[in-house]
Structure 1
Amino acid sequence: MADTFTISVPRLHTERLTLREYRVADFELFADHLSDPESSAFLGSADRQAAWRIFNSHAGLWLLNQAGWWSIEDRQTGQLVGSVGAFFRHGSSVMEMGWNTYRAFWGKGIANEAAAAVLKYVFEVRREPKVRALVSAGNESSRRVAERLGMRYEMTTELDGKEINTYMRERG
C-alpha cells in the first residue's frame, strides 16, 4: 500500500493580504514576473519552462520541509500580487525568507506586510531560533524590507555567481 501524505500550507492573514498555497492558476503571473527583465533584474530571468520548475519547487518545499512559499493575494480584490517564502536552502539548517512583489504592485508596502507576517509565523509558530534573507547587492527595496523586519547585515557572499548580502535576525 502506498504512503499517503497530507500537506497543509498554513494560511496567514494581514490587514490587506492573504498568504496562501500556490495554485496552478497562479503560474501565469509567476512566469510573467520571472520573464520580465525589470522584475527579475536581481533574481535572474527565467523562461516558461524554468519558471514552471521554480514554481513547482517552491510548492514542493512544503512536502519536504513543512516550509515553503506562499502566493500573496489582495484580500479585497482576490488579485495575486506576489509571493513570499520561509524555507530551508539545501544543506542549511537556518530558515531563509524571500519575497517578490509583482511589478504592478511595487511601492505599496506589500513585501513589508507579507514578510512581517511570515517572520511572525517563523518565530512564533515554528519557533525557529533565527532567520536569514539573501538580498542581491544593489537591491535597495529588498534591503529596506530586511531592515524593517529587524534583520541586520551579516556578510557579503556569492550565490550562483552573484554578489549577495546576508541579513540575519534571531528570535527574541
Structure 2
Amino acid sequence: MTSEEVWFRLLRDLGQWAVDDYGSWTIRRAKDGAYLGNVSILDHRRLIEPAMTDPELGWGLSPAFHGEGFAHEALQAALAWADAHLSATRTVCMISPENLASLKLAARVGYRPYATTTYKDQPVQLFERPRRAP
C-alpha cells in the first residue's frame, strides 16, 4: 500500500474502535515480533445484497507466512474475543470464490455459506458463523 493508503486504513481502524468498540489487530510472530498481517472485525457498511448488517471478520497475511497456521491462530483469537465481547448473534465474512485458502480457513473456524452475490462487479460468497458461548 502507499503511505496514503496506510494512513487512511489506520484512521479507519482507529475510528472503528472508537465507534463500535471493535476493530483490527496486528498479527506479529511471538519469537521476533515480525509483522505477519492483520485480523479485523469491522462494520464496512458495504453496498451489497443481501445486506451485511452483522460484524464482518476479515484477515490478511503476508504471503511469506502462508501455510504456517498463523492466520488460523489469529482467527481463533479474534472469534473468541468476539464471542466474549459482542452482542451480535453472528459474524459474517465475504470471500472471493477463487481464494481457496481463505475458503478452507473460514470453514475450519466455523463459517458456513449463506449467499452468493457480487461486490464491485466481482463474484463473492458470503459466510456466517453463529456466536458461541464464551
Do they superpose with TM above 0.5? yes
- Deviation per CA, 1:14-47: give whole Å up to 9, x if none: xxxxxxxxxxxxxxxxx3xxxxxxxxxxxxxxx4
From the superposition, tell whether residues 51 and 159 of structure 1 become closer, same or farther in structure 2 (CA, over 3 Å): farther
- Pair 1:124-2:79 in alignment: no
Structure with the larger RCO, 1 or 2 (CA within 8 Å, 6+ apart): 2
CA deviations 1:63-105 (Å, max 9, x no partner) are: 1211111111111111111000012222754011001001111
Dislocated runs of 4+, deviation >3 Å: none
Give the TM-score of the pair, scaled to structure 2.
0.85
Q: TM-score, normalised by structure 1?
A: 0.68
| Cα distance in 1, alignment partners of residues 87 and 99 from structure 2 | 29
My pick for the range that moved more, 85-94 or 157-166, is: 85-94
* Amino acid paired to 1:66: D
Task: State the percentage of identical aligned residues.
Answer: 25
Instruction: Give deviations 1:116-139, integer Å, cap 9, x for gaps.
Output: 111111112224310111111210
2:4 paired with 1:49: yes
Gapped runs of 5+ residues in structure 2?
47-51
- Which position in structure 2 is the counterpart of 1:139? 99
Q: Tell me the secondary structure at the aligned position of residue 113 of structure 2.
A: strand
**Counterpart secondary structure, 1:83:** strand
Q: Match of 1:152?
A: 112
